[in-house]
Amino acid sequence: MNREACGPDSYRDWVLGLDFRVRYCLLLPMAIGTCCLLFSCLLFSCADPKFQQYLAEGEQLYIKNCSNCHQRNGKGLGLVYPPLAPSDFLDKKVAAVICLMKNGQTGEMTVNGSSYNQPMPGIPSLTELEIAEIATYIYNSWGHEKGIIEVKQVSQSLKSCPSD
């Protein structure tokens, strides 16, 4: 086999011989996408399909149930609804956050040194699995890297929720 038929030069010549639109509108995004996918696999543990499933489902559930107040980017809404990104409350009180998703809260709370006093309605119809998926999403977005929040952890947290 000669070098001209299959070496790096022939690949380069093939790529350079392609139409400009194919090179820059098809191959470049594919290369960038591959790099982004590899980076996200390292960052979000692609080896664990359960984690990936929780993350994907959790994002959809978050958008449907939480983003209206906390916003898609997790930044909250001024001094009306608290941020999740960043959030000292979120970082320190995983069990309380799980209880809030299911049961809601009225009264004042402090997040990042700011006071918030809007009621947060709970969503009693959420299953423990759905809460685990939302928690996995919020605890692995916007700079958080907590890993998967298991249904077992949600179940234990819900048993310890304060009663109204």
pTM of the model: 0.72
- Determine the pLDDT at residue 163: 76
Instruction: Find out whether 119 and 82 touch, Cβ atoms under 8 Å.
Output: no
Collapsing DSSP states into helix, strand and coil, what is residue 139?
coil
- Determine the pLDDT at residue 57: 98
How many C-beta atoms surround the C-beta of residue 74 within 10 A?
21
How far, in Å, are 56, 93, 99, 139, 157 from residue 150 at the CA level? 15, 16, 14, 12, 11
pLDDT in tens, the chain (164 residues): 444 444 445 545 555 565 545 445 555 555 555 444 445 545 545 569 999 999 999 999 999 999 999 999 999 999 999 999 999 999 999 999 999 999 999 999 999 999 999 999 999 999 999 999 999 999 999 999 999 999 999 999 999 998 75
Instruction: Find out whether 119 and 104 touch, Cβ atoms under 8 Å.
Output: yes
Query: Which of these CATH numbers, 1.10.760.10, 1.10.10.350, 3.40.50.11540, 2.40.170.20, describes 45-159?
Result: 1.10.760.10
- Determine the pLDDT at residue 70: 97
Instruction: Find out whether 103 and 117 touch, Cβ atoms under 8 Å.
Output: no
- What does the alpha-carbon distance between residue 23 and residue 9 come to, in Å, rounded to a whole number? 16
